[in-house]
Structure 1
Amino acid sequence: MLPSTQCDTAPRLAGRDPTDDHDPAVDALVSRAVAAQRSFATWPEAQVDALLHDIAKCIAEHAEELAVATVAETGFGNVPDKILKNRLASQMVYQSLAGKPATGLLRMDAETGIADFASPVGVVFGVLPKTNPVATFVFKVLIALKARNAVILSCHRDAQRVGQRTGDLITAVLKQHATPAGLVQWNQRRADRRTTLQLMRHPDVAFILATGAAGVVRAAYSSGTPAIGVGAGNAPTWVCADADLDQVAQAVVASKSFDNGIMCASEHNLVVDGAIRPAFLEALEWHGAAVLREYEIDRFVAAVFESGDDAHVRSELLGQSAPRLLEAAGLNRAGAVRLVVVPARRHQITGPLGREKLAPVTSLFTVDGDEEGFAICHSLLANEGAGHTAIIHSADSERIARFGREMPASRILVNAPGAQGTLGMESGLPPSLTVGCGTFGGTSTTDNVTFTHLLNIKRLAYRTLPVRAAA
């Protein structure tokens, strides 16, 4: 997720009531969606899954074209990783949905006599981020349609063209399957505050999926419409004394450099036991990291980060490559550098090195033993990223269990890369492009969001004999 100080639309959503500028076109958009959803709600499971299969297949076949267009338009990330992300959001998400019941009777509890029935929520409004405009587009379409909802999407203003292309591809598939008109819609012009807020507050919009900057999420939750939003990432990654250092270094470099570091669940901070620090730094460099020398740190921080304790990576360097970051600081490294590692001290936790860094750069804090490791991880999440993700690399089951109990994070990854693990590529988590932070992070779920979050579950319960109080 992009912090509110950076380049998504969030700050522009505050202000006067959007009804001051009521747009009749929004009413027409929602009316089409309502009518389409009512018709689509009766589609049988096999027919819905066939539709989803063809949408996923279409986007996967155009994954490279869409990745090239995304990088060209947004300036974020890199083409190879965006191709992989587009295929994950289409094929892997489809595979997680196919064959799952999403309508009518879901289950019957023989012991209680309670039967669960699923109903669509209705019209879903989805806000899309600049960081993943194609992957999040197709992901939200697939989970909304699986639950038999209509969906209206708001493409980021800096990803409008690639959003239009993605929508056109999906619309062609919808027409082939003779779906009702208006089932999937998106903004046909550059996103603006008035339209976004009017859609969020529209009485016929049933649910909001808000993926974007902090202000977007706040606007969704304050709209009066049920919503799920995301929170900032800032994953602390504890590398314990018993960790497999080569495996950890490979995972960290692969994850934090993935799509030039714009994944909110990647390793924003390394917390490394001092006993293994020298060997771990060597392993990081072997796998393509540039570990800054003491005399390089201040120069790099001044060039790459904004000033002030609450600062983040400069907007012009978001999602840029590691060599580009080094170039901005006037630093050089031989060989192919994928990630920049910045050694940091404990007092820097509250500064930019202790915050979410949406670029291929991570901080490295050195700790002495378990208690300091736990304390630093807690402090990092308290500074930013509460509720999102925390990572531990260890072979000690008791230490891992304690980390799981104590960390205020919705996803606790064990010996796994942050980005790929959270996405469900290298873990058993449901593949998702929208992940909750729970009440830790001011959101409404800790889950990796999927189609089940877009269903109303009704419970049919028979009368039972009353339980009599003891005499």
Structure 2
Amino acid sequence: MDVIDKDLISIQEVRSLVSKAKEAQKILAAMSQEQINKIVKAISDAGAKNAEKLARMAEEETGFGKWRDKIIKNTFASKSVYEYIKDMKTVGIINEDREKKIAEIAVPVGVVAGLVPSTNPTSTVIYKAMISVKGGNSIVFSPHPNAKNCILETIKIISKAAVEAGCPEGAIAGITVPSMEGTSELMKHKDVALILATGGSAMVKAAYSSGTPAIGVGPGNGPAFIEKSADIKLAVKRILDSKTFDNGTICASEQSVVVEECSKDKVIEEFKKQGGYFMTEEEADRLSKFILRANGTMNPKIVGKSPKNIAEMAGISIPEGTRVLIAKETRVGKQYPYSREKLAPILAFYCEENWEKACEKCIDVLNNEGAGHTLIIHSKNEDIIREFALKKPVSRILVNTPGALGGIGAATNLVPALTLGCGAVGGSSTSDNIGPMNLINIRRMVYGVKEIEELRGEDKVSSCENLKDLNEEYINAIVEKLLEKLKG
């Protein structure tokens, strides 16, 4: 009986895909802006056209989230991202300042490795393919094994559309036999120029340890502060809209709510009215044992599941129509599940004496997990909003908006993206919402504007031997010096 070595097959496939992607990228790099734009438009159209089909596939295969919400994510990745990037200059001279005598020239990075999570599989592929090709790059995807089929189908659909629009074969590809060894080979391959890592902390860490430049994102654990001046009804609506969107699988979604003592009762009452269920201490304790695995990582069984499913798994009874499970909490730490990232409709609820204490609590939560990612504040007090913006260790301060949709740029004017940088504080190479400009290098052409005499602080005129090259001002200066000498 023949033994099939899956790892070797995966590694060999990666080498073949990267080789083809390298050749394809050379062709992309020689294309005009118009040719690139045509391909990007084709990817966008194909993604939008197949948004529902791919959404249904993703839910069926992964068991995460809601396919109707995944349609919105696929459409966002296709249309919203396209509308933002369509007029960007990413080929040739992209900026020129004639007065300062400097020009900027876009240079593609080359072959991009795209790591795809199971939480946002199809939308991530559409988005990463579009921003990569927009920058003149090819991309090879490493699918999450639990979402392999829907990811590969997405690659097939958009790649076909891209080729029909003039894209070279092999510019958009994916590993059909995914494995840890294959992914490692992809990340470490000498012809891969950059890794776009979206996934779990272990995968992102592996990307940064690969020796290949990487753009990775850490976990989200965004606290939402409802300050006393806020429209409480609207704030609660936005939080619930966000936390229930695709059952909380977007990393920018709220993970905890922080309120002031003076408005605690009003906030609790409003959450209950809108479908929030405050668990008893016993229920919260029972669920807490189910949120984390023994190794301290999030239990994948809760990811993207409905409150009803989660309650059944944890053995607790909740009212019909419950939208989000809420646990009152005071503690923050790795050993306290509610203070950590929960990619599910589960929230921690903290109450503090005043906004200053609430500010400190938010910082504690972020430093525990999610530093560099996102914080949400609901308030009408601009002074307090600015205080939060100045002090929080995050890359995004979202004001009066749902976290999930605000963080990715759907409900705000941030760059529309499904990869959100966390900055140095979060262990990321950038704090940006990742777009095409993060996937190109800038070659700068500059003309000299000063001579060495000027840098030394010397009179340029006195050291110049050719009077014909001097302007009238310099000639007058020489005449004045000669007259002074004659007088002397």
- Which of residues 18, 36, 43 is equivalent to 1:55? 43
Deviation at 1:253, TM superposition (A): 0.3
User: Normalising by the residue count of structure 2, what TM-score does the alignment of the two structures yield?
Assistant: 0.88
Query: Does the Cα contact within 8 Å between 1:312 and 1:355 map onto a contact in 2?
Result: no
The question of 1:113 aligning with 2:98 is answered no
Equivalences for residues 246-285 of structure 1 within 5 A: 246-285=233-272
- Which of residues 262, 278, 291 is equivalent to 1:305? 291
Deviation at 1:111, TM superposition (A): 4.1
Equivalences for residues 139-218 of structure 1 within 5 A: 139-189=127-177, 191-218=178-205
Counterpart in the other structure of 2:69 = 81
Counterpart in the other structure of 2:337 = 352
Q: CA distance change for structure 1 residues 328 and 28 in 2, over 3 Å: closer, same or farther?
A: closer
Instruction: Indicate the SS of the match to 1:152.
Output: strand
Q: Distance in 2 between matches of 1:162 and 1:67?
A: 9
Query: Does the Cα contact within 8 Å between 2:25 and 2:111 map onto a contact in 1?
Result: yes
Q: Distance in 2 between matches of 1:137 and 1:231?
A: 19
Deviation at 1:353, TM superposition (A): 1.1
- Which of residues 61, 66, 78 is equivalent to 1:90? 78
Instruction: Indicate the SS of the match to 1:425.
Output: coil
Deviates more, 1:242-251 or 1:328-337: 328-337
Counterpart in the other structure of 1:434 = 419
Deviates more, 1:372-381 or 1:218-227: 218-227
Unaligned runs of 5+ in 1: 1-17
Instruction: Indicate the SS of the match to 2:140.
Output: strand
Q: Distance in 2 between matches of 1:339 and 1:305?
A: 15
Query: Does the Cα contact within 8 Å between 2:261 and 2:352 map onto a contact in 1?
Result: yes
Q: CA distance change for structure 1 residues 328 and 26 in 2, over 3 Å: closer, same or farther?
A: closer
Q: CA distance change for structure 1 residues 207 and 120 in 2, over 3 Å: closer, same or farther?
A: same
Instruction: Indicate the SS of the match to 2:401.
Output: coil
Q: CA distance change for structure 1 residues 24 and 266 in 2, over 3 Å: closer, same or farther?
A: closer
Counterpart in the other structure of 1:6 = none
Q: Distance in 2 between matches of 1:159 and 1:23?
A: 19
Q: How far does the alpha carbon of each residue in 1:185-207 deviate from its partner, in whole angstroms, 9 at most, with x for none?
A: 10012x11221111111111111
Query: Does the Cα contact within 8 Å between 1:273 and 1:369 map onto a contact in 2?
Result: yes
Deviation at 1:23, TM superposition (A): 4.0
Q: Distance in 2 between matches of 1:160 and 1:22?
A: 13
Q: CA distance change for structure 1 residues 468 and 37 in 2, over 3 Å: closer, same or farther?
A: closer
Query: Does the Cα contact within 8 Å between 2:296 and 2:335 map onto a contact in 1?
Result: no
Q: CA distance change for structure 1 residues 347 and 50 in 2, over 3 Å: closer, same or farther?
A: closer
The question of 1:126 aligning with 2:114 is answered yes
Instruction: Indicate the SS of the match to 1:116.
Output: strand
Deviation at 1:171, TM superposition (A): 2.4
Query: AA paired with 1:429?
Result: L
Query: AA paired with 1:258?
Result: F
Counterpart in the other structure of 1:425 = 410
Query: Does the Cα contact within 8 Å between 1:238 and 1:373 map onto a contact in 2?
Result: yes
Instruction: Indicate the SS of the match to 1:267.
Output: coil
Deviation at 1:434, TM superposition (A): 0.5
Q: Distance in 2 between matches of 1:274 and 1:102?
A: 51
RMSD: 2.0
The question of 1:320 aligning with 2:305 is answered yes
Q: Percent same amino acid at aligned positions?
A: 37
Q: How far does the alpha carbon of each residue in 1:186-231 deviate from its partner, in whole angstroms, 9 at most, with x for none?
A: 0012x11221111111111111101111121111111111110000
Instruction: Indicate the SS of the match to 2:225.
Output: strand
User: Normalising by the residue count of structure 1, what TM-score does the alignment of the two structures yield?
Assistant: 0.91
Deviation at 1:332, TM superposition (A): 3.2
Instruction: Indicate the SS of the match to 1:317.
Output: coil
Q: Distance in 2 between matches of 1:328 and 1:127?
A: 30
Deviates more, 1:325-334 or 1:216-225: 325-334
Q: Distance in 2 between matches of 1:173 and 1:305?
A: 41
Q: CA distance change for structure 1 residues 332 and 200 in 2, over 3 Å: closer, same or farther?
A: same
Q: Distance in 2 between matches of 1:440 and 1:285?
A: 36
Deviates more, 1:416-425 or 1:42-51: 42-51
Query: AA paired with 1:154?
Result: S
Query: Does the Cα contact within 8 Å between 1:37 and 1:123 map onto a contact in 2?
Result: yes
Q: CA distance change for structure 1 residues 203 and 22 in 2, over 3 Å: closer, same or farther?
A: farther
Deviates more, 1:134-143 or 1:283-292: 283-292
Unaligned runs of 5+ in 2: 1-6, 459-488
Q: How far does the alpha carbon of each residue in 1:12-32 deviate from its partner, in whole angstroms, 9 at most, with x for none?
A: xxxxxx9x9994443322121
Equivalences for residues 451-466 of structure 1 within 5 A: 451-465=436-450, 466=452
Instruction: Indicate the SS of the match to 1:316.
Output: coil
Deviation at 1:416, TM superposition (A): 1.1
Q: Distance in 2 between matches of 1:236 and 1:349?
A: 16
Counterpart in the other structure of 1:388 = 373
Deviation at 1:461, TM superposition (A): 1.2
Q: Distance in 1 between matches of 2:332 and 2:181?
A: 42
Query: AA paired with 1:433?
Result: L
Q: CA distance change for structure 1 residues 288 and 385 in 2, over 3 Å: closer, same or farther?
A: same
Instruction: Indicate the SS of the match to 2:251.
Output: coil
Query: Does the Cα contact within 8 Å between 1:312 and 1:356 map onto a contact in 2?
Result: no
Deviation at 1:331, TM superposition (A): 3.2
Instruction: Indicate the SS of the match to 1:206.
Output: strand
Deviates more, 1:356-365 or 1:325-334: 325-334
Query: Does the Cα contact within 8 Å between 1:312 and 1:352 map onto a contact in 2?
Result: no
Q: How far does the alpha carbon of each residue in 1:68-114 deviate from its partner, in whole angstroms, 9 at most, with x for none?
A: 11111111111111111111111111111111111111112244221
Query: AA paired with 1:171?
Result: S
Query: Does the Cα contact within 8 Å between 2:103 and 2:445 map onto a contact in 1?
Result: yes
Instruction: Indicate the SS of the match to 1:228.
Output: strand
Q: Distance in 1 between matches of 2:130 and 2:315?
A: 45
Counterpart in the other structure of 1:11 = none
Q: Distance in 2 between matches of 1:293 and 1:22?
A: 49
Larger Rg, first or second structure (1 or 2): 2
- Number of aligned residue pairs: give it: 450
Q: Distance in 2 between matches of 1:161 and 1:306?
A: 27
Query: AA paired with 2:16?
Result: A
